[in-house]
Each structure stands twice: as structure tokens, then as C-alpha cells.
Structure 1
Amino acid sequence: MKKTQSIVSKRRSKILDYISTNESINTNELAEKLNISPLTLRRDLQALDDEGLIIRYYGGAKLATDINIDNKSDSEENTIDSTYNQKKHVIAKYAADLIDDGDTIFINSSSTALLILEYLDTKRVCVITNNGKALQSSIGPNVELVLTGGQVYERKQSLVGEFATYILSKITADKCFLGVSGIACDSGISTSVLQETLINHEMINRCSGPVYVLADSSKVGRHHSFSSGDIDEISHLITDSNIKETDIKDFQENGVTVVPLDWQ
């Protein structure tokens, strides 16, 4: 398993190298160069986009932030992933501190939101999620974990469809924690997976308290393919300190409290 993950990591590092110097992507040519199928390449590109490492557009892609990609040594191949993981953990830990004993919370399919489970410690919390990966998470002794059920969306191991939405419609949560592919004042929150839009929005609708969006700064100002909610449905944005001051001001003017966290 570790060997497979290493192969995937090295391959995606090579893809990032390519994108850093070539905004126009010929998928067939790049797939041949990497000795993989075009389908595998498209999956890798989508995964990198979901992680906020790249921004895809018709006919090309670019790095999402001012990330310096180079090939100086093998030891540097995981630098980007390490940086983003560090931001995710800082955001998730802060979010976990907002949760009180007795809370019922929603967590969506986001990898960042899922990390909240690792920081709940001994809190007595009921967690409702459509994230199938929650089954492999480390959870505290007093956490009641409830999966929505539903159709499995394989790439993200998320639970989607009418059954999952129906279950959510019967629950009222105290707080909602959503990871997103993009968040912007003019377009709200968005995702790269069509099937997850109804799930995310149902979580927002069935939350009686604050709705927290957990997103690193590379996702701020972006709009992905599918909208999950309007900006006035969000109460807080928890992000990292790399967010621009102008973006903070825009969100605050739209009623969203922004929490920029130091992560270094």
C-alpha cells in the first residue's frame, strides 16, 4: 500500500512539474510521457485540483498558489503535500475547539473537515457525515459516528444520492463543517462533484447554528463546477493566514466572519 502511494505521489509530483512550465495540457501526450492512461491522468489532475494544488480550466491548468516546483532532490517531492497537510491540520484543530459537549455536528466529504475527528479528544459529540473515510479515522471514546448511507462515489469514498439526502433531512445539527473546492463572495461555495451539491446544501439547511467553511487560502476566490450554497448561507470561513486582506474585507462585508490562522 505504501509503495502504491509512493508511486502515485511521485507521478503527481511530475505532473506538477509539467504544469509549472506548461499551462496548456495535451493529455494524450503527457499520459504517454508518464506511461499512464489518459483516464488515470485526468483522475490525477482532478485530485490535484481537489487538493487546491492546481486550478484547471478548459485546455490547461496552472498552479493554484505561488508554489515553487523543482526537481533538485527526491527529498523535496512531498514538500507541497506537507505544506497543505500542515494547513489542513491547523484548520481542523481550530474547528474542533469550536465544538462543545453534547453537540450534533455535520461533516461533509472534505479531507480537511474529516480531520476534526482527530482533535475531539474526550468530547461527547454526535457526528453525522457522508464521508466514508471516517471509518478509518481515529475518534475519541465519546464520539458517536453516524454515516448517512447512500450510493458510494468511488473517487472520494463519499456517500451521495437520494438516500443520503433523505437521512440528512431527518436530522437537525447544532453546527456544520464543510470543506469546499472553492469559495467566493459572488458565487458562494462550490465543489467539483455534482453528486455532492445536494448533500452539502442539505447539511446547511438542516443546521440550526453556525455553518463553518474550512478552506485553505488557495480555494478563496475560486468557483468550481457546481454550486453548493450562497455566501449568505455561510457564517464563518476558517482558513490560513495567506488569505488576502481584500478577500477578508469582502467576506466580512457579506456577513462572513473570517478566521485566518497562522500555520507555520
Structure 2
Amino acid sequence: MKNSKTIVFKRQQAILKALKEKNVVHVENIAQKLNVSATTVRRDLQMFEQQHLVERFHGGAKLLRETLKEEDSALLVQSDKGISQKHIIAKYAASLIEEGDTVFLNSSSTALLILDYLKNTRAVVVTNNGNAIGHNKDSKVELIITGGEVYERKQSMVGDFALHTLSKITADKAFIGVSGISVKGGITTSVLQETAVNEMMLKRCQGSCYIVAANFKIGKEHNFLSGAVEQVSEIITVEGADKEEVKKLKNTGIDIVELANIND
């Protein structure tokens, strides 16, 4: 099983490398080069699209270079370091939601996964994540979508309408996914349009504000600031984050939960 995962990871890295070098890949060409089926390549490209790394077109895909900094793109492939961490973090985060809570989830894919694990708890979930529409959820969970202008690449709701909706709500807890968090850089994201929404969620939360972030995002700094680390109550991540940065963050008074990686 482990060997199989390694093969998949290496194939995906090879496709991503080709994308970074040429900006565009064609399914048939890359399938022949890697000696795999076209269906396998399409499946990998679909996964990259879900990670907002590429834009697919008929017969291939184009790299969205502006989505992420160059050094992070390989890490965000949904391998052991991607999808598994998201589920580990989301499952723990869901356990923190109590009966009757009103909760903010931002446009993060990790935050959205909390819905998968929120069971038998009556709660109101407010999100600007358009992907939440139609997402499986427990019948006890009431879902409110902020509305607003749709940022197509991530299907997130942004702009004045989304902000107006959030300004009318007070949440008990907020779960904010990030592109990076550090003492020096604060809470940062790769999408400018989403910073105002994240700021409003942090402002309108009367209880704990949680950052949900894979371990490789701890200590990272991206282009656009969503808030200061002083606004964060707790960071939920997976073991393996930069120890020096974890120490610095703890020194600011933030609690950090480092969950065991069951795939290690």
C-alpha cells in the first residue's frame, strides 16, 4: 500500500514538474511519457484542479501560477502531505463544535471538510465557500452561505455582499484555513479578495478563533494579510511543523495542537 502511494506521488510530481516547466500539459503526451493511461492523467489533473493548481481544458491543463508561491505547489498535491492532513485536522476541529454553536468556516478546503465530521450536533455553519452547496452534511447542521461575488477559481464568495452578511452574524467559533501563518507575517492568504472576508470572520467571532493548517504552512508567509496572530486562539495542525516557528507562535500566547499523522 505504501509503495502504491509512493508511485502515485512520484507520478503526480512528474506531471506538476512538467506543468511548471511548460505551463501547459497535454493528456496524451504526458500519458505516453509516463507510460500510464490517459484516464490516469485526467484523474491527476482533476485532483490538481480541485487543489486550484491548474485550469483544465479539453485534452490538457494549464498551470495557475498565481495561485501559490512556487516553493509550495508541490507540497499541496493531495498525497500523504495533502489530503490526509486535511482530514486529520478537520476531524479534530469538528470535535470542538458544541451543541447550539454558530460557526464560521472560510473558503479553505480543510475548513469545508469539517462538515464531513460534524455529526449529531445541532449547529449553524456560516461559510463563504460555494463548494459547501450540495456538500454532504448532517441533518442537524443548518448551513448558511454568505452569498456575494463568486471568485471562480476557488468558488469562494467575496465582496460587499458577503461582508454585509457576516456583519449581521456573531459566531461562537471560527475555523480559518490559511496559505501561511507566522509571527512575522501574520495570517496570510494567496487570494487578495478573500482577506476582507477572513478579517470579518475573525472580528465577528466572540469565542475561539482557530487556524486550520497543514504543517508545511506553519512559518510560511504569503502575499496578502488577513489578520494578526494575536487574533488567533489556537492553531490546529499535524506533527512535523517547523519547531522554531511553533515555539515563536506559542510565545505569543497561541495554543498549538499538533495532531499525530496516522500515515507516518
What's the TM-score, normalizing by structure 2?
0.77
Indicate which of 201, 205, 217 corresponds to 2:203.
Answer: 205
Q: Alpha-carbon deviation of 1:42?
A: 3.5
Output the CA distance in 2 between the equivalents of 1:17 and 1:226: 26
3-state SS of 1:140 partner: coil
Residues 13 and 74 of structure 2 are in contact (CA less than 8 Å); yes or no, is this contact kept in structure 1?
Answer: no
In 2, the alpha carbon distance for the partners of 1:144 and 1:156 equals: 22
1:102 aligns with 2:100: yes
Alignment-mate amino acid for residue 230 of structure 1: A
**1:32-51 alignment, distance < 5 Å:** 34-35=25-26, 41-43=62-64, 45-46=65-66, 49=68
Aligned 8 A contact 1:215 1:239 in 2: yes
Tell me if 1:159 matches 2:169.
no
Task: Describe the superposition over 1:169-189 as per-residue Cα deviations: whole angstroms up to 9, x where unpaired.
Answer: 010000000000110111111
CA distance in 1, matches of 2:211, 2:181: 9
Aligned residue-pair number: 223
Whole-Å separation in 2 of the counterparts to 1:236 and 1:110 = 17
- Residues 250 and 193 of structure 1, relative CA distance in 2, 3 Å threshold: same
Query: Residues 50-69 of structure 1 correspond to what in structure 2 (within 5 A)?
Result: 55-56=69-70, 61=71
Instruction: Return closer, same or farther for 1:63/1:148 CA change in 2, 3 Å cut-off.
Output: closer
Cα RMSD for the two superposed structures: 2.6
Which of 135, 139, 148 is residue 150 of structure 1 equivalent to? 148
Q: Given the alignment, which residue of 158, 169, 172 partners 1:171? A: 169
The aligned residue for residue 73 of structure 1 is none
Write the letter of the residue equivalent to 2:23.
A
Deviation at 1:168, TM superposition (A): 0.3
Provide closer, same or farther for how the CA distance between residues 143 and 110 of structure 1 changes in structure 2, counting only shifts above 3 A. Answer: same
Alpha-carbon contact 1:64-1:218 (below 8 Å) kept: no
Deviations 1:186-214 (A, max 9, x none): 11111111110000000000000010000
CA contact (8 A) 1:108 1:200 kept: yes
Letter in 2 for 1:218: F
Distance in 1 between residues matched to 2:146 and 2:98, nearest whole Å: 22
Is the Cα contact below 8 Å between 2:202 and 2:231 reproduced in 1? Answer: yes
Q: Which runs of 4+ in 1 moved over 4 A?
A: 9-12, 61-65
Q: Distance in 1 between matches of 2:74 and 2:79?
A: 13
CA apart distance, 1:64: 6.0
Structure 2: how far apart are the matches of 1:115 and 1:226? 24
| 1:140 corresponds to | 138
Match of 1:14 in 2: 14
Amino acid at match of 1:193: V
One of 110, 116, 123 as aligned partner of 1:112: 110
Assess if the C-alpha contact under 8 Å between 2:16 and 2:74 holds in 1: no
> Counterpart of 1:75?
none
Q: CA deviation at 1:255?
A: 1.4
